Amino acid sequence: MKKVISGMLLTGLWLIAGCSSIAEQKDIVRYAENPGNGLRKKVTVGNCTYTIQYKPAAYILFLEHTPPDQLGQRRQQLDSMAWFNISFHIEGFESSPLRYKVSGLGDYDTRLNYYLNDAAKDMYLLYGKDTLYPVSYWFENNQNLTAAETMIAGFRLRDGDRPDHDLHFAFYDRVFQNGIIKTIIRKADIDHIPDIQNHNM
């Protein structure tokens, strides 16, 4: 009987620990997406709003549902990178910004081609004394399902480097020509990410 009770207690403790781990992971997502913590910035120019989300390693690992046996390798890949989501929408416009004031399919296709193939050339990251350009880029074409579009850009830091300088992100959007969109992710804010260095996924 004692063995059964002990087994039940161990199982219960394991479940509680598992739930606690999941809760901590979700806390990291909530933390990163809370503008008050400095990792999510909004820049509005005219009627166009850009949301720049810095994505720390623990945030990405949780959202990717990385299998436990691949966590170590995946974390090493992420440690030398700085990842951003750059979303944009037109205030008061309920469709994709690619459709905003287009005169026809040709205009839409030109915009789509820019964000698919050329937008990365207009992004850079000032990191200490370095000017970095995206080594990885993806445009999430939402097929007009939401009123926002999202670009994903990854910048390679020095080998094995975790951010030890402020990250000055800049983007010149040639479609909407809103000037250079700039924002800063402060190292102090990165350092305050809950348990980013030792988070066990």
Average pLDDT over residues 43-61: 93
Q: Which residues of 32-43 are buried (b: 16+ CB within 10 A; e: fewer)?
A: beeeebbbbbeb
Alpha helices in the chain (DSSP H): 2-33, 57-64, 71-79, 105-113, 187-191
What rounded mean pLDDT belongs to the chain? 84
Q: Say if residue 21's pLDDT is above 70.
A: no
pLDDT band at 124 (very low <50, low <70, confident <90, very high): very high
User: Helices 57-64 and 2-33 sit at what angle, rounded to 10 degrees?
Assistant: 120
Q: Say if residue 7's pLDDT is above 90.
A: no
Identify which of 162, 181, 178 has the alpha carbon closest to the alpha carbon of residue 123: 181
The domain ranges of the chain are 29-191
CATH-assigned architecture of domain 29-191: Sandwich (2.60)
- In the structure encoding, which two tokens stand for residue 158, read together? 């020095």
Higher-scoring residue by pLDDT: 185, 65: 185
Q: Say if residue 145's pLDDT is above 90.
A: no
pLDDT digits (tens, 9 = 90+) for 146-197: 899 999 999 999 766 778 899 999 999 999 999 999 999 999 999 888 754 4
Q: What are phi and psi of 144, to 5 degrees?
A: 65, 25
Q: Say if residue 32's pLDDT is above 60.
A: yes
Any idea which of 19-23, 73-77, 108-112, 146-150 has the lowest mean pLDDT? 19-23
Is the whole model's pTM more than 0.85, yes or no? no
Confirm if 151 and 137 have CB atoms less than 8 A apart. Answer: yes
